[in-house]
Amino acid sequence: MNTADPTVPLDELVRLRRHFHAHPELSLFEFDTNAFIEARLAELPFDEIRSKVAGTGTLATLVGGRPGPVTLLRADIDGLPVQELTGAEYTSTRSGVMHACGHDAHVSILLSAARTLVARRAEVAGTLVFCFQPAEEGPAGNRLMIEAGALENPHVDRTFALHVYSGLDVGKVGVRDGAFFASADEFRLTLRGKGGHGAMPHCSVDPITAGAQIVSSLQSIVSREIAPRDPVVVTVGRFTSGTTFNVIPDEAVLEGTIRCFDSEIRKSMPGRLERIVQGLCAAYRVEYELEYHWQYPPTVNDPKTNAIVRATAQRLLGVENVVEHDITMWAEDMAFMQELRPGAYFLVGSRGDERTSYPHHNARFDIDERALAVGYQMMVGLGLGHE
Ligand code: NI
């Protein structure tokens, strides 16, 4: 790949990324990160800076010198509750907290791109909103930013966002039209039976037996009810019950995640789940309570907006380095903005060697820092709006 582009401030990108990497903060607690970002942005002549949006987010507006749409460029800023094991010189200084998803790279890329785009303001077509968003890892910071007004004043016409990705070689960009990341919803099922002696099951109502049947039968939603062309995942990740080997407990609790790409299928899932739960609970004489929590919708790329990402990447990196990427079952909270505005989300390859091949959220996750240059070039290219 070409990292010799003299316009890419690779030293600055790396310095910033390592600073954030060494000082990770958990979702909604990104106070130092927020202060660092806002101090950097304050050095630059933006038209407006909205600080401490949704607590630890920032929105910086730049009116370009040429006419054009209002474009929001987004970086998520939070780390994860993971104890880092990379052994890197810039390893986390905060015990039990780590930038294990690469959001440190996203902040560094967007800060550096912002500096360049401010300097090249006269060339920018339209208005740019630089969005530094907290709490991607769970509390849906993207939705909090929307509620705090991120898509208005100015009215945002379209959005772009990226993620570094250890599943893709450095130097490459992954794009996809339509649904890219899955929805992710959660359920919690409480089964109430009647506890008793393990030797006398006929005097009890066993919630574990019922729960075991439910775990197995839920898989028939995917295998027997949904068309094979439509990817759906039903996972029971937690099944808790009982205190010891010879006691039938009163209660069992099952918790799981449901993921898919189609919004009609997504809407149908609680009904399918409950029908199976209801039937089996009746069969096994168990009472139940089912909670279903709608979390992240699927992340859907608008083809027209995505065409801009594809064209920009092809121009900057060469056609051979732009990959039409498969769907992924992750969820991504940028889905909320992309439900409301045409948007495009893309992947920036960050895998250079074995050390940078660990999956995201792994304690050994790290990136090939040449990915910072690619992300920076993409954000500058999209920000300039030269199509
Ligand atoms: Ni992430």
Transcribe 226-245 into DSSP letters. Answer: S-TTS-EEEEEEEEEE-SST
pLDDT number for residue 1? 53
Query: Which pLDDT band, with edges at 50, 70 and 90, does 5 fall under?
Result: confident
What is the arithmetic mean of pLDDT over 254-269? 96
The length of the chain in residues reads 387
Say how many C-beta atoms besides its own lie within 10 A of residue 83's C-beta: 12
Q: How far is the CA of 103 from the centre of ligand 1 (A)?
A: 6
Say how many C-beta atoms besides its own lie within 10 A of residue 304's C-beta: 11
Q: How far is the CA of 216 from the centre of ligand 1 (A)?
A: 31
Q: How far is the CA of 109 from the centre of ligand 1 (A)?
A: 14
Pairing verdict, β 299-301 and 158-169: unpaired
Cα distance between residue 62 and residue 165, in whole Å: 28
- % of the chain at pLDDT higher than 70: 98
- The letter for the amino acid at 337 is M
Cα distance between residue 7 and residue 373, in whole Å: 10
pLDDT number for residue 386? 66
pLDDT number for residue 113? 98
What is the arithmetic mean of pLDDT over 161-188? 97
Q: How far is the CA of 179 from the centre of ligand 1 (A)?
A: 17
Tokens coding 369: 């820092």
Q: How far is the CA of 272 from the centre of ligand 1 (A)?
A: 30
- The letter for the amino acid at 141 is G
What residues are paired with 236 via a beta bridge? 256
Domain ranges of the chain: 10-182+298-384, 184-296
Active-site residue set? 78, 136
The dihedral through the CA atoms of 209, 275, 240, 226 has a sign that is positive
pLDDT number for residue 138? 84
pLDDT tens, position by position, 314-327: 999 999 999 999 99
Q: Which CATH architecture has domain 184-296?
A: 2-Layer Sandwich (3.30)
Cα distance between residue 122 and residue 88, in whole Å: 40
Q: How far is the CA of 254 from the centre of ligand 1 (A)?
A: 27
Which residue bears the tokens 């028939």? 220
Report in angstroms the alpha-carbon separations of 181 from 21, 66, 109, 298, 306.
25, 34, 22, 6, 14
pLDDT higher than 70, residue 387: no
Identify the H or E element spanning 370: helix 370-384
Cβ atoms of residues 113 and 62 within 8 Å: no
Q: How far is the CA of 330 from the centre of ligand 1 (A)?
A: 9
pLDDT higher than 70, residue 353: yes
Phi/psi zone of residue 306: left (φ > 0), alpha (ψ -120 to 50 degrees), beta? alpha
Identify the H or E element spanning 192: strand 184-192
Identify the H or E element spanning 22: helix 10-22
Cα distance between residue 146 and residue 38, in whole Å: 19
Q: Which CATH architecture has domain 10-182+298-384?
A: 3-Layer(aba) Sandwich (3.40)
pLDDT number for residue 6? 77
- The letter for the amino acid at 136 is E
Q: How far is the CA of 229 from the centre of ligand 1 (A)?
A: 27
Q: How far is the CA of 162 from the centre of ligand 1 (A)?
A: 10
Cα distance between residue 332 and residue 38, in whole Å: 24
Q: How far is the CA of 101 from the centre of ligand 1 (A)?
A: 5
Cβ atoms of residues 168 and 251 within 8 Å: no
Give 263-277 as a DSSP string: HHHHHHHHHHHHHHH
Cα distance between residue 107 and residue 113, in whole Å: 10
What residues are paired with 290 via a beta bridge? 189
The mean predicted confidence, pLDDT, of the chain is 96
Q: How far is the CA of 251 from the centre of ligand 1 (A)?
A: 36
pLDDT tens, position by position, 107-132: 999 999 999 999 999 999 999 999 99
CB half-sphere exposure, 364, CA atoms < 13 A: 8
pLDDT higher than 90, residue 335: yes
pLDDT tens, position by position, 32-77: 999 999 999 999 999 999 999 999 999 999 999 999 999 999 999 9
Tokens coding 161: 């966002």
The DSSP 8-state label assigned to residue 151 in this structure reads T
